[in-house]
Amino acid sequence: MIDDLLDRMTLEEQVSLLSGADFWTTVPVERLGIPKIKVTDGPNGARGAGSLVAGVHSACFPVAIALGATWNPALVERMGVAIAGQAKSKGASVLLAPTVNIHRSGLNGRNFECYSEDPMLTAELAVAYIQGVQGQGIAATIKHFVGNESEIERQTMSSDIDERALREIYLLPFEKAVKRAGVMAVMSSYNRLNGTYTSEHPWLLTEVLRDEWGFDGIVMSDWFGSHSTATSVNAGLDLEMPGPARDRGEKLVAAVRNGEVKPETVRAAAGRILKLLEYVGAFESAPDLAEHALDLPEDRALIRQLGAEGAVLLKNDGILPLNKAGLGHVAVLGPNAAEARVMGGGSAQIAAHYRISPLEGIREALLNANSIRHAVGCRNNRLINLFSGDIRVEYFKARSLAGLPVVAEPAHVGEFFWFDLPSTELDPSDFSARMTTSYVPAESGEHVFGMTNAGLAKLYVDGRLVVNGFDGWTRGDNYFGTANVEQRQGIHLEAGRRYQVVVEYCSSATMEEGINITAVRFGVEKPLGEQDMAEAVETARNADVALLFVGRDGQWDTEGLDLPDMRLPGRQEELIEKVAAVNANTVVILQTGGPVEMPWLGKVRAVLQMWYPGQELGHAVADVLFGDAEPGGRLPQTFPRHLSDNSAMIGDEAVYPGKDGHVRYAEGVFVGYRHHDNSGVEPLFPFGFGLGYTDFSWGKAQASAAQMALDGITVTVDVTNIGDRRGSELVQLYVRPLGSVVERPDKELRAFAKLKLAKGETARASLVVYPRDLSYFDVEAKAFRAAVGRYELLVAANAADIRSIVTIELAREWIGEVSDRLV
C-alpha cells in the first residue's frame, strides 16, 4: 500500500509529509486519504495539545529518575501501557518519550527526565517503557539523539565526545531501543555533535542509526531544532517539527528541482512517515484528535506503587518505619510539605488530575489531624509564587492592546504559555493580551511581585507600574531561554485590602531562529523571615518526630537551564540544622531531580529520597514513612560528597559547562561510578545504594560455566529474607576485566535482578552475561572487542558492596560488529 501511495503522490505531496502541519500534528493528503496524526509530549504523562501549564487533565506519573530508582523494568513496562492509554485520551498516536540521555554532571536541568548515569540500566528501562507503549499501538519516540547532557546553550553547543565513549555510554540506550524494542521514532537533539548539528549529521542519522542498527522508523527534529533544507534531508532527518514548514515545503521542492536532494531521498523519507501512520492504524481508522481526561483507578494505584518502588532510603538508624499507634505530636515541616512537587519543569509538564501533598497524605494516613503541626520555615522556589485567583484575559489583534478584544476568557493562575491562541483571528507573532485580576493580602507588610515574559509585559498594581518586563528586555533563563530573568519589585500592602492587578502583554516584534515562544508568568508572595524559621523550630521542639520536606521543584529541575550547584536552595540547610538541634528524631525527606550535597547528614536520623513521584506523592510518601510500603528504590545515580567530586567538574570550563560553543566530554567512558572507582574518590552514596525495612542473607554466587560461550554465562545467587517483614533486594552484576591493553573502568554494570521476598523466603537471582558484556569499543576496528583472558563477575548489592566474585575465562578473542543483534 505504501509504495502504491508513493507512486500516486506528487513531489509536492511527498514533501508536505516531511514537516508538521502545526505544533502537534502532521500534514494530511486528503486527495489520497492520508490522514493527519497527533504527537504528544511525555514522558511522565500525555499532555496533548494543551499549554505546558494548562489544558485537559492527565495522569501524572513519576519522572524518569524515579523510574530509574525502581530498577524494575516489568513495572516500567506497565507504566508504558498506562501512558499509551493516556496518549489515546489526547487523540495522539505518537508519544514523545522516553528520554535516555545520561546523568553526566549532576547539574543538568533535565537530569530528572533521564533514567540513570549507567547506559545499561537506562537501556533496560527504556526498552521496557517502549514495549509497553508500542504494545498498545502508540509509537514511542526515544530522545534526544545524542549528547544532550546539559541545558546550557543547548541549541548551539557542540558536545565533543570521542567515538568510544559514544558507543559504550551515550549511544547504547538508543541502540537497544532500536534493536530490541523496535522503537518507531527517534528525536534528534538540539545540540551539535563534534561540530555538526545532530539534525543534519549523516554519520549519526544514516550510517549508525539506519545502516548499522537497521532502524526503519522516522527521525524527527526536536521542536525548532532543524536548521537546513537539503543538508538535513540528505543526512536522514525525516520530519521537521513543529509546522508549518520552515526549511521544507517550497524550499525542499526547489532543492529537489535543482539537484541538491535526490527525488528518491524524499520518497524514502515520505515512505517512512507513511509506515508510521500504518503502524499506528491511521489508515484503518482516521484518528480522532479530540481530547478528554482519563482518570483511572488502576492508573492511580500504579502511580502510588511506582512512587514507593522508586523511593530510596539513604539513611535510617531504626526510626523508620514510624509506628502510627505510637505517635503523638508530629511536626510536618519545610517548603515541600504542603506543596505537592509532583513533576519537573519544561516540556515534561502536564496538567495533573490532582496533586496529593505530603501533608495531605500524612493527615490521611494518621486520621488524627490534631496530632499534626505544620510550618514552612523557609522557601525554596526559584521564581516568585505563582498568582492564583480569578483572572479575566482579553486578547487583541496587534501588539498595541487597542480597540475591542477579539476574545475574552477566564483563567485561574498567572501563567500563560500559548501554543495555540483562543481565536484564529489572532496572529501568534502579532497579538497582545490584558490580564486583569485582584489580590487581597492576608498580612500587612512588604510583598514581592515577580514576572518573567517571553515577549514584552508590564505589571500594574492599582494603576502603578510595579514590574517592568518591557523596557530593556533581554533574554534570560526562563521558558527555555526565550524569556527574561524574572523581574521583581517589592511593595507595601495592607491586609484585607483589595488591590487591582493588571498585566499587559504583547508578542515579540521579532521572531528569532530556533525556539520562539509566547508566554508570561507573574506571581506575588510575602517573603518569609526569621519569625517563620523560628516557628518551624518551635513546632519541631516538642514533637515526637519532625518530618522535614525539603529539596527543589520544577522551577529548578527544568528544561532550559542547569542548576547553579548541588546544594539545597534558599535556607533549607539552615532549617535542617536548626530543627535537628531541637528534635533528636528528625527525618529528612528529599525531593530533587538528582544528587545533593548533605553537610547536615550526620545530624538527622533518616533520609528518604522521593524524587518527583507524580500525582500520588503524598500517599506514596506516607506509605513508605509508616511502613505500609517499603522504600523499594536504589540509586540510579551516584551521590558525590561534593560537586567537585563529579567527573565533569575538573575546574575546566571547556569540560563543563562549555567554552566557545563546545563542551568536551574529557572523562570519556569514566562517568558516574566508573569515575569514582578509577579515581578512588569515595561517594556520599554509591550507585545502586538503598536501604530497606528488612534484612537479607546472600549465598555464594555460582556460574553455569568457567568459560564464556557465544550464548553467554548464567550467574546465580540465592537470597533469603531473614528479617521480620516482606521486602525487596537488588542483585547487581558487574564485569571487571583482569588486564587490558586499553584503559577501562574498574567494573561495569551488565545485569541486575530485583527480588521481592516474604519473611523467611528464599529466591534465586539469575543473571546472564554475554561476550559483548566483556568488551570495549575498538575505534580503529570499528567493532566491540573482548580480549582473551580472565574476567571477574562481581555480584553486588551496590557499586561499593561486592558480595561475591566469580572468575571466568574468555578462550578466544571476540569481535562484535556494530550491526550485530542485541540480546
Task: Output the DSSP codes for 410-460.
Answer: EEEESEEE-SS-S-TTSBTTBEEEEEEEEE--SS-EEEEEEEEEESEEEEE
Q: What is the pLDDT of residue 510?
A: 67
Q: How many CA atoms lie within 13 A of 607 on its CB side?
A: 25
Q: What is the pLDDT of residue 730?
A: 98
DSSP 214-281: ---SEEEPPTT----SHHHHHHT--BBSSSS-SSSTHHHHHHHHTTSS-HHHHHHHHHHHHHHHHHTT
Q: Is 570 left (phi over 0), alpha (psi -120 to 50) or beta?
A: left
Q: Do domains 2-279 and 696-817 have the same CATH topology?
A: no
> How many beta carbons lie within 10 A of that of residue 707, not counting itself?
11
State the average pLDDT over residues 329-349.
Answer: 96
Q: What is the pLDDT of residue 481?
A: 87
Q: Delimit the domains of the chain by residue range.
A: 2-279, 307-379+529-628, 388-525, 696-817
Q: What is the pLDDT of residue 465?
A: 98
State the average pLDDT over residues 569-575.
Answer: 98
Q: What is the pLDDT of residue 113?
A: 98
Which 8-state DSSP code applies to residue 469?
A: E
CATH superfamily entry for domain 307-379+529-628: Glycoside hydrolase family 3 C-terminal domain (3.40.50.1700)
Interatomic CA distance for residues 670 and 117, integer angstroms: 11
Radius of gyration of the chain (CA): 27
pLDDT, one tens digit per residue, over 11-29 is 999 999 999 999 999 999 9
pLDDT band at 54 (very low <50, low <70, confident <90, very high): confident
Architecture of the domain spanning 388-525: Sandwich (2.60)
Interatomic CA distance for residues 266 and 11, integer angstroms: 8
Q: What is the pLDDT of residue 51?
A: 75
Backbone phi and psi for residue 475, each to the nearest 5 degrees, phi listed first: -60, 145
> How many beta carbons lie within 10 A of that of residue 197, not counting itself?
25
pLDDT at 335 over 60: yes
Across the chain, mean pLDDT equals: 96
pLDDT at 513 over 80: no
Assess whether the previous peptide bond of 428 is cis (omega < 30° from 0).
no
Interatomic CA distance for residues 594 and 103, integer angstroms: 9
Q: Give Cβ neighbours of residue 474 (< 8 Å, ≥ 6 apart).
A: 484
State the average pLDDT over residues 311-325.
Answer: 96
pLDDT band at 623 (very low <50, low <70, confident <90, very high): very high
pLDDT at 511 over 70: no
**Which CATH code of 3.30.300.30, 3.20.20.300, 2.60.34.10, 3.40.50.2300 fits the domain covering 2-279?**
3.20.20.300
Q: What is the pLDDT of residue 434?
A: 98
Whole-number percent of the chain with pLDDT over 90: 94
Cell digits of residue 151:
541545558
User: Order of strands, edge to edge, in the sheet holding 776-778?
Assistant: 776-778, 783-786, 814-817
Q: Is 222 a catalytic residue?
A: yes
pLDDT band at 403 (very low <50, low <70, confident <90, very high): very high
Locate all alpha helices (DSSP H) within 507-654, ordered by sequence: 530-541, 572-582, 617-625
Give pTM, 2 decimals. 0.96
Interatomic CA distance for residues 503 and 507, integer angstroms: 13
Q: What is the pLDDT of residue 665?
A: 98
pLDDT at 766 over 60: yes
State the average pLDDT over residues 478-488.
Answer: 93
Q: Is the dihedral of CA 419, 425, 430, 433 positive or negative?
A: negative
State the average pLDDT over residues 624-652.
Answer: 97
Q: Are 79 and 129 contacting, i.e. CB atoms less than 8 angstroms apart?
A: yes
**Looking at this protein, which amino acid is placed at residue 611?**
W
State the average pLDDT over residues 210-229.
Answer: 97
Interatomic CA distance for residues 133 and 140, integer angstroms: 6
pLDDT at 419 over 90: no
CA 313 to mean position of chain CA atoms: 21
State the average pLDDT over residues 421-435.
Answer: 93
Q: What is the pLDDT of residue 512?
A: 59
Q: Which of 312-316, 423-427, 678-682 has the lowest mean pLDDT?
A: 423-427
State the average pLDDT over residues 98-110.
Answer: 98
- Stated as kind and residue range, the H or E segment containing 366 is helix 358-366
Which residue in the block uniquely carries the three cell numbers 520536606?
549
Whole-number percent of the chain with pLDDT over 70: 99
List the catalytic residue out of 222, 247, 553, 557: 222
CATH code for the part of the protein at 696-817: 2.60.40.10
Which among 276, 212, 43, 38 has a CA at the least distance from the CA of 142?
43
Which among 306, 267, 270, 278 has a CA at the least distance from the CA of 81?
306
Q: What is the pLDDT of residue 780?
A: 96
